[in-house]
Structure 1
Amino acid sequence: MTLSFAPSSDPSVPLHVIAQSDLDGWLLDQPERVQSWVAANGFSGALGQVLLVPATNGAIEFALAGYGTEDKRARKRFPLAAAALAFPEGTYSLASGIPADLLEMECLGWLMTGYAFDRYASQTGGSAALIAPDGINATRIEAMANAEALTRDLVNTPTSDMGPDQLQQAVEVLANEFGASCKVIIGQALLDQNFPMIHTVGRAAEQAPRLIELTWGTSGPRLTLVGKGVCFDTGGLNLKPGASMGLMKKDMGGAANVLGLARMIMTLDLPLQLRVLIPAVENAVSGNAFRPGDILTSRKGLTVEINNTDAEGRLVLADALTLADEGNPDLVISMATLTGAARVAVGPDLAPFYTDDESCAMALAQAAKTSADPVWRMPFHTPYESMIEPGIADLDNAPSGGFSGSITAALFLRRFVGSSRYVHFDIYAWQPSNEPGRTKGGLGQGTRAVLSALPEVLGL
């Protein structure tokens, strides 16, 4: 599925976007027939309301889209997308009504109404096409929309068709598309090349655990993205109850998100050196599954006491982050569906992130506002370090007590990154219900904010 603007040469219906408070003033400048048509059809400018206005010859002269009130718009990520979904099939061109500072965001939302996950059943997204208005970066918006579609497709695909083998194939397809390099370390080779925790977490599954690496670009600052690729998480021997296991196909949402971000970077040909690391495993149950009470030795040499096999994501990320740091990158970003504690703290809509770098934090916060991609900074609270130190080993993968679970997980990961600037996202990667521009299912989180922040953070 490709999400794109309609060719500018296509015949189109002019579209006026009207807020409720502006409708009366707008109508004063219209002929009586238009005023009567609007009144007769009950168009009030409510958010998502649409109306096609005929000319005197019966053809469509223009269209109206309700933009609601400021309060209503504040509750929607992409207010115009509500109208885009309601319009009949056709091509439209924005004529008035969208503030210049919101134009790119609203166009992105419109494009994303076209997304549908149709791999297993016939599904269709919005059928209204849009011509890119003057003054926007259409290439960038299309890159964002199609990266989001890739992320959603990967997360939405069940593990029967998106295990470690298939996730590797998805990375290889992406690498081939952009002329990137891809290499994979699989099974026993993980032990031979010192990735013991990735191997341990995935060794009980039918598909072998692996570390997937994509590299692209030969000059510029070095950016390394690390994505959690747990293709299904049963909880291991600390087996999840059924209700908690139902969405675990999305436990590779971190990998899906870094691949979406990588797609944007490569599509836009950003002047940097990109490295993507994905530890891909399935946390399964069998006779050789790792156990509570085991003590593992990581690639970095730190020992980890296993107090819950359901806290496996941080284990595979730890080995990958150690490798990332060994390359002395200018910036390391990890993305993972890591803790339920993050959802308790900020819910499903916000993407919490951790960093010790103030410039990164400020750039991300500002970029989120302009990219319709909300993020929220959480603290690397150093006094909590003692909570992840069990005494019998260097680290505890699941501290007891139940407090500050997202923070302690982030602190655990920070132990495996040395001097590199580091940002960690603890994301949900799932949209719980249908919203304009965001269908229920897999979701990209934080990636557009990162993309917009990269020029400042890396000096591009």
Structure 2
Amino acid sequence: MTLEFAPASDTALPLWPVWSDEDLPPEAGTWPGASGFAGKTGQICLLPDSDGGLRGALLGLGERAQAAWDRFPLARAQGLPKGDWRLAALPPGLDPDQLILGWLLGQYRFTRYKGAPVQGPRLVCPDGVDGPRLLAIAEAEFLTRDLINTPASDLGPDRLEAAARALANQIGARVEVISGTALVKQNFPLIHAVGRAAASEPRLIDIRLGDAGPMLTIVGKGVCFDTGGLNLKPGASMGLMKKDMGGAATTLGLLKMLAGTGAAAGLRIRVLIPAVENSVAGNAFRPGDVLSSRKGLSVEVNNTDAEGRLVLADAMTYAAEENPDLMISLATLTGAARVALGPDLPPLYCDDDATALALQQAGMAVGDPLWRMPFWDAYEPLIEPAIADLDNAPSGGMAGSITAALFLRRFAEGAGRYAHLDIYGWQPVAAPGRPKGGVGQGARAILAALPRLF
């Protein structure tokens, strides 16, 4: 499937999005009333012409009071017949860019293993809407979704590196990769320890774009599959672990967005992805091990299934050595975040009020919500075990997302500002513009917040 807008032409059929409480356009005639159309959310009414063909359609938007919770109402129009369509009117109260982005995101299909891409209805980009920018955003989100949806059999650390190199070549970025035993020699002991038992060796992917301006560094968790290690996950919990590289996938999607929209101009952007597979073998790291970190802090491993914060720790330390103006970590890190806020609302941790407010407000504005949670200093003792500097999995099970964020913050020292997003990276139930499966979270919020961040 090619993601594109239809060319403007007289043959494109008109589409009227309508609220349930508004009068229907006079062009619709009496047919909608006779066919039971009431403007309910997602309801489509095809308008016949005198010859039995199509002359247009109505799309129900539902009640205006629910509009704030419906991120991509126009995505429901993917149920229209194949052909070219144009918006006969932009519904009042809705952001045109967000509306059209919803149409584009609704076209996503993951067809790598089944069937072939099918071209659905196409939309003429309305006047005043920046079509190329929205296409760049949607294509970047599709990259994220494709990476998350691809199983580990076809996307281990080596393949994730290949995807990163392909993107870097596309946007003119530079790439360096440290892998295997070189991680030990160059002082990335935690990344190596977590990934050394896998068939595809662990690696740290380092991408740079831009040579001048403030530095934005994004660190994405790239655990391509997580068995839980020797603290083996039960089968029901392991089934979705191809998505444990959702932070890396979202980070690559964000990099593609920044480059494709021109938002990267005037910035130095660095992306770091520790890419590993947490596997079981004779050389796997063990519960009770005390590991060294690049920062020099020792870490007691009380659960090998809390591996994401370990690989992020070395990558973040490396990032902080350059003193970036803003460092952001993106990771499918804790089940506790899902218990607290569910799959749709990632926690945002940030000590800088202006940065946190910019990200949260931007996320709400573009349908990519974040919810601020506290770096609660009173919980710091929970991550300090008796025999090492840090504990990767505090006992008790309470405040798991907060203690994980506190653990990461220990390795952000040197960055001007630091923010952490504990994302899910998965859409468990299909929604307009977000089919069931891999999904990016936080990238569009960061993109929209950039003017306020620098």
Spell out, residue by residue over 1:216-261, the C-alpha distance to the aligned partner (whole angstroms, 9 max, x if none).
1112211111000000100001000111100000000000000000
Residues 1:236 and 1:10: Cα distance change in structure 2 (over 3 Å): farther
1:396-439 per-position Cα deviation (integer Å, ceiling 9, x unaligned): 00000111000000000000011311110000000001111111
Q: Is the 8 A contact 2:299 2:391 kept in 1?
A: yes
Offset from partner CA, 1:110-168 (integer Å, 9 cap, x none) = 11111110000015567111111112221221111111100000000000000001000
Aligned residues: 451
* Contact persistence 1:6–1:131 (CA under 8 A): yes
1:49 paired residue number: 43
| CA distance in structure 2 between the aligned counterparts of 1:177 and 1:7, rounded to whole angstroms | 26
Equivalence for 1:436 = 432
Match of 1:4 in 2: 4
293-302 or 3-12: bigger deviation = 3-12
Alignment match of 2:423 (pick from 398, 419, 427): 427
**Alignment partner of 1:215 is 2:211:** no
Alpha-carbon distance in structure 1 between the residues aligned to 2:278 and 2:412 = 24
How far did 1:11 drift?
3.1
Name 1:26's counterpart in structure 2: 24
Q: TM-score, normalised on structure 1? A: 0.95
Give how far 1:77 is off: 2.2
Q: Is the 8 A contact 2:19 2:63 kept in 1?
A: yes
- Residue 413 of structure 1 corresponds to 408
TM alignment of 1:201-240, pairs within 5 A: 201-240=194-233
Separation (CA, whole Å) in 2 of partners of 1:95 and 1:46: 19
1:363-378 alignment, distance < 5 Å: 363-378=358-373
CA offsets per residue over residues 299-340 of structure 1, 9 Å max, x none?
A: 000000000000000000000000110111111010000000
Report sequence identity in percent: 59
Contact residue 16 and residue 57 of structure 2 kept, 8 A: yes
Code of the residue aligned with 1:65 in structure 2: it is: L
Match of 1:315 among 310, 313, 320: 310
Q: Aligned letter for 1:435? A: A
Q: Deviations over 1:166-214 (max 9, x none)?
A: 0000000001111111111010000111000000000011110000111
Unpaired segments ≥5 residues, structure 1: none
Q: CA separation of 1:386/1:408 partners in 2, compared to 1, >3 Å: closer, same or farther?
A: same
Shift of the alpha carbon at 1:60?
A: 3.2
**How far apart, CA to CA, are the structure 2 residues paired with 1:72 and 1:386?**
43
Alpha-carbon distance change, 9 to 220 in structure 1, aligned in 2, over 3 angstroms: farther
Does the CA contact (< 8 Å) of 2:137 and 2:260 recur in 1?
no
Aligned to 2:382: 387
Match of 1:132 in 2: 125
The residue that corresponds to 1:448 in the other structure is 444
CA distance in 2, matches of 1:302, 1:441: 37
Residue 69 of structure 1 deviates from its aligned partner by 1.1
Correspondence for 2:111: 118
CA distance in 2: counterparts of 1:127 and 1:10, whole angstroms? 19
Secondary structure, in 3 states, of the residue corresponding to 1:390?
Answer: coil
Match of 1:188 in 2: 181
Q: Verify the 8 A CA contact 1:293 1:306 in the aligned structure 2.
A: yes
Correspondence for 1:254: 247
In structure 2, the gaps of 5 or more residues are none
Q: Identify the residue that residue 15 of structure 2 maps to in structure 1.
A: 15
- The reply on whether 1:295 has 2:295 as its aligned counterpart is no
| TM-score, normalised via structure 2 length | 0.96
- More deviation, 395-404/68-77: 68-77
CA contact (8 A) 1:197 1:298 kept: yes
Q: Give runs of aligned pairs for residues 336-351 of structure 1, distance below 5 A.
A: 336-351=331-346
CA shift, 1:101, in A, is 4.4
Cα separation, 2, equivalents of 1:329 and 1:318: 16
Letter of the structure 1 residue corresponding to residue 48 of structure 2:
P
User: AA paired with 2:228?
Assistant: G
| CA contact 1:229–1:281 (8 Å) conserved in 2 | yes
Q: CA RMSD in A?
A: 1.5
